[in-house]
Amino acid sequence: MRTQGAAFAGLLAVLAGGATARDVHHYWDIGYVTANPDGLQEREVIGVNGAWPPPELHVELNDTLVLEVRNSLRAPTTLHSHGLYQNTTNYLDGPFMVTQCGIPPGANMTYRIPIQQTGTYWIHSHYSAQYVDGIRAPLILHNPQEPHKYDEEIVLPLEDWYHDQSAELLGNFLSWKNPGGAEPVPNGALVRRVGGATKARLDFVPGKTYRIRLINMSALAMFHFSIEGHQMRVIEVDGVDTEEMVVGNVRLAAAQRTSVLVTALNTTDNNYIFHADMDTDMFDNVPEGLNYNTTGVVEYRSGAPTQRDGDVDWSAFNDIDLVPIEKDPALVADQSSTLDVHFGQYTDTFNHGTFNNVSYVMPKVPSMFTALSAGDNALNPAIYGRQTNPHVAPHLRVVELVVNNYDAGTHPFHLHGHHFQLIARGPVPYDAAAAPEAAAAPISRDTVSIPSMEYVVLRFRADNPGTWLFHCHIEWHIESGLNMVIVEAPEMMPQRIAVPQQIVDHCRAAGIPTSGNAAGRAGLDLEGEAVGPFPYPYGWTTKAKGAMAGCILAALVGFAAIVWYGWSSKRSYGRVPQAQPMAEDDP
């Protein structure tokens, strides 16, 4: 009776409102294409339907995005709709070995996503470092009752660009020859998907107000965006509408989005310059000739002289000061976890990103399938494997994450399946007694940038049963292990989540089990689960680590059983670790 009543009420609402939810169909054949995105080097990129860049997707609130995907690559692929809750559709979220086994080469997958959010999002591969090769696109979710007024909108993706293939870059990054973990430095930037000699252009008509949707689709680079001679007002971050805030420039870390309103000037006398500058602090070295300060043109009239205005305000605005339109009070935490972020060379000789000195290693069974098949054990974090750094939250608990960034670099952290409230920022280590009080109505977002030696405190309610990755969005750091799995309300998952047969079939084709714990076994028997890599025991010198790298090479060649001296006394370290990157080998 209840269901029928609800369905009837829904029908009435549709009839009364005239709003009909539509299915918005797209077909994406994901494959290799030759392209020259920055005008400097032709290369093989990953495109869609034989072209690059992949098309922008535009969908309205309450519509359903139906994306039919065919994988024409030589490797598996997956798609992640960044920032979407995927409420009841955890299996469409995309991270390889968290919610799916990858779409095998030659296979298809249907993404059927009811749109219950609005704002600026993007879609990208979540398999290995594939998105660096170009498989990323804006995903704009329109709100028929937009809270801000503007005449037109401009989608402005910013992305770094590499001339080499991601697999090659990744191989050089995750290597014993790179113990310091220096990230590959991009060869340049694409602004609105053009680069090199071609300048991005924004056409302005006097008096009109534009909503510019800035999306940072970078693998590494952080950008500063500004327009000379014009004022910008922030109205959205990561799909959350905010009250207007005037800023001089917008700083966007990888995966973040910001919408600004810009009102055009009243004359066509001059054109202006806009800036999208890569933050070179992120780069271990700045190669000679790298053009990291990209500029484009705001054009009022073709051929008009360019008016320069050196008075750009480069001071940073602080996202925690933003005021959301929808004002919810700060959540009160039921459970809290502290996550210390460190990078260092680990016993597999690679430089790893870690939460609490645990570097993520994929389980043998995707965590979602483990949760769905675990029965009474689903709330026990052990079954998800210690190398996935699992955190379990029962249904409707308020989860607090305190992230202390002890690394020398800035890291943008992204939580799947949620917007989280941004409660506090400050210098490490977080101390609850000394921390500033949360705003009365804190801003929420899905990706937060944490500068070196600073912390943030985040909170969200576990109201979206599923397995959700929390990770740094710098692609190279995902691959070096800076990930963990939040298992949310697993006791509710079997009744809320019905995995389509197609996705189970993908696992079968790949030989990956769809039930069992992280070791692919039943119950609490975790024999064979991934263990390590570990930090080097205290006192190991660079020379010793070098010798160990030699040992590992010898082991790989000769398969000798090696016991390092000083090792056997550390019982807790267990067996000799294997050289085991978390990144899957690209076939």
Ligand X SMILES: *[C@@H]1O[C@H](CO)[C@@H](O)[C@H](O)[C@H]1NC(C)=O
The structure tokens listed for 503 are 């996705």
CA angle (218 as vertex; 28, 477 as ends), nearest 5: 105
By CB under 6 A, tell whether 56 contacts ligand X: no
> 68: helix, coil or strand?
strand
Name the phi and psi angles at 465, rounded to 5.
-55, 130
Chain-centroid distance of CA 326 in Å reads 24
By CB under 6 A, tell whether 220 contacts ligand X: yes
By CB under 6 A, tell whether 291 contacts ligand X: no
**Which region, judged by CB under 6 A, interacts with ligand X, from 163-171, 219-227, 326-334, 570-578?**
219-227
Closest by CA to 72, choosing from 35, 34, 110, 30, is 30
For the bound state, the minimum distance from the C-beta of residue 112 to ligand X, rounded and expressed in Å, comes to 15
For the bound state, the minimum distance from the C-beta of residue 495 to Cu ion, rounded and expressed in Å, comes to 36
Closer to ligand X at the Cβ: 324 or 516? 324
* Contacted entry of Cu ion, ligand X, none for residue 477, CB cut-off 5 to 8 Å set by kind: Cu ion
Question: What are the beta bridge partners of residue 570?
Answer: none
Name the phi and psi angles at 558, rounded to 5.
-95, -15
By CB under 6 A, tell whether 259 contacts ligand X: no
The position carrying tokens 């079954």 is 383
By CB under 6 A, tell whether 282 contacts ligand X: yes
By CB under 6 A, tell whether 248 contacts ligand X: no
Closer to Cu ion at the Cβ: 371 or 474? 474
For the bound state, the minimum distance from the C-beta of residue 522 to ligand X, rounded and expressed in Å, comes to 30
Closer to ligand X at the Cβ: 144 or 289? 144
Residue 145's alpha-carbon distances to 39, 69, 148, 188, 241, in angstroms, are 40, 31, 9, 38, 12
Question: Are 135 and 124 within 8 A, CB to CB?
Answer: yes
By CB under 6 A, tell whether 204 contacts ligand X: no
- Cα(525)–Cα(54) distance, integer angstroms: 44
**Which region, judged by CB under 6 A, interacts with ligand X, from 167-175, 272-280, 422-430, 579-587?**
272-280
By CB under 5 A, tell whether 445 contacts Cu ion: no
Give the H or E element holding residue 352: strand 351-355
The structure tokens listed for 578 are 């294997």
Question: What are the beta bridge partners of residue 330?
Answer: none
Question: What are the beta bridge partners of residue 579?
Answer: none
* Contacted entry of ligand X, Cu ion, none for residue 472, CB cut-off 5 to 8 Å set by kind: Cu ion
Which of 477, 516, 520, 533 touches Cu ion (CB under 5 A)? Answer: 477
**Which region, judged by CB under 6 A, interacts with ligand X, from 39-47, 218-226, 364-372, 476-484?**
218-226
**Which region, judged by CB under 6 A, interacts with ligand X, from 278-286, 483-491, 547-555, 563-571?**
278-286
Residue span 73-92 as binding mask against ligand X, x where in contact by CB under 6 A, dash where not: ------------x-x-----
Residue 97's alpha-carbon distances to 88, 100, 130, 247, in angstroms, are 18, 5, 15, 40
- Cα(248)–Cα(29) distance, integer angstroms: 41
The structure tokens listed for 415 are 């939580």
108: Cβ–Cβ under 8 A, 6 or more apart, which residues? 68, 69, 70, 71, 502
> 357: helix, coil or strand?
coil
Give the H or E element holding residue 252: strand 250-252
By CB under 6 A, tell whether 70 contacts ligand X: yes
DSSP 380: -
Closer to ligand X at the Cβ: 390 or 520? 390
Which of 207, 329, 550, 574 touches ligand X (CB under 6 A)? Answer: 207
By CB under 5 A, tell whether 411 contacts Cu ion: yes
By CB under 6 A, tell whether 344 contacts ligand X: yes
- Cα(491)–Cα(465) distance, integer angstroms: 8
By CB under 6 A, tell whether 339 contacts ligand X: no
For the bound state, the minimum distance from the C-beta of residue 123 to ligand X, rounded and expressed in Å, comes to 17
By CB under 6 A, tell whether 463 contacts ligand X: yes
By CB under 6 A, tell whether 225 contacts ligand X: yes
For the bound state, the minimum distance from the C-beta of residue 402 to Cu ion, rounded and expressed in Å, comes to 17
Site for ligand X in 524-553 (CB under 6 A): 535
By CB under 6 A, tell whether 33 contacts ligand X: no
Specify the amino acid at residue 186: P
For the bound state, the minimum distance from the C-beta of residue 527 to ligand X, rounded and expressed in Å, comes to 26
User: Which stretches of the chain bind ligand X, using CB under 6 A?
Assistant: 19, 61-62, 70, 85, 87, 106-108, 144-145, 158, 207, 216, 218, 220-225, 251-254, 263, 265-266, 276-279, 282, 293, 314, 342, 344, 356-357, 412, 418, 463-464, 535
User: Which stretches of the chain bind Cu ion, using CB under 5 A?
Assistant: 411, 472, 474, 477
